[in-house]
C-alpha cells in the first residue's frame, strides 16, 4: 500500500500509522497500482470537472474507487471507465455503510436497492 496526500505531514502520519510507503502528491501518477482509492474532495460538487489523476495514469487492470458521492460519476470515474478500469463510486460506499448499520441495528437484511434508489433520488432533487 502506498499513500499520497496533498498535505505531506498527513501522508507521513498515515504512512507511519499503517506501516506503508509514502510518495509526494506530485509523483502520484508515477506509481503503478492495482487499486486506486481517491479519498480527497477533488471532483466533488461544485468542482465536478476536476480529477486527482490524469487519464494517462489509469490503466485497464486497475480498480478505481472514488469516495466522492456528489456527483456519483466523478471525472475520475469517467476517466477510469474510458480507460477500461473497473470502478466503484462513493455512493456505493455510502449505501453499503448504511446497509451494514441497518443490519446491525435492526437484526434484519437491509433493503439495499431501495436505499440506493432513494439516495439517488434525494441527491438529484437537492442538486437541482
Q: How far apart are the first and last CA of the chain?
A: 39
Answer yes or no: is pLDDT of 76 > 90. Answer: yes
Tell me how far apart the alpha carbons of residues 79 and 57 are, in angstroms, rounded to a whole number. Answer: 10
Residue 16: inside a domain, yes or no? no
What confidence tens digit (pLDDT) does each residue in 9-65 have?
999 999 999 999 999 999 999 999 999 999 999 999 889 999 999 999 999 999 999
pLDDT digits (tens, 9 = 90+) for 100-114: 999 999 999 999 999
pLDDT band for position 87 (50/70/90)?
very high
* 9 lies in some domain: no
In the chain, the number of structural domains is 1
Is 78 part of a structural domain of the chain? yes
Residue 73 placed within a domain? yes
Confirm whether pTM is higher than 0.85: yes
* Boundaries of domain holding 56: 32-126
**pLDDT-based confidence at residue 126 (cuts at 50, 70, 90):** confident
Amino acid at each position: 500500500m502506498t499513500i499520497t496526500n496533498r498535505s505531506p505531514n498527513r501522508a507521513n502520519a498515515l504512512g507511519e500509522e499503517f506501516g506503508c510507503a509514502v510518495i509526494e502528491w506530485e509523483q502520484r501518477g508515477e506509481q503503478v497500482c492495482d487499486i486506486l482509492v481517491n479519498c480527497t474532495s477533488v471532483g466533488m460538487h461544485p468542482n465536478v470537472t476536476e480529477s486527482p489523476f490524469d487519464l494517462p495514469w489509469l490503466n485497464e487492470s486497475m480498480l478505481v474507487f472514488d469516495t466522492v458521492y456528489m456527483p456519483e460519476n466523478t471525472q475520475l470515474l469517467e476517466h477510469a471507465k474510458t480507460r477500461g478500469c473497473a470502478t466503484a463510486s462513493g455512493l456505493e460506499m455510502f449505501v453499503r455503510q448504511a446497509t451494514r448499520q441497518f443490519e446491525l441495528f435492526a437484526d434484519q437484511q437491509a433493503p439495499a436497492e431501495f436505499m440506493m434508489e432513494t439516495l439517488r433520488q434525494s441527491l438529484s432533487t437537492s442538486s437541482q
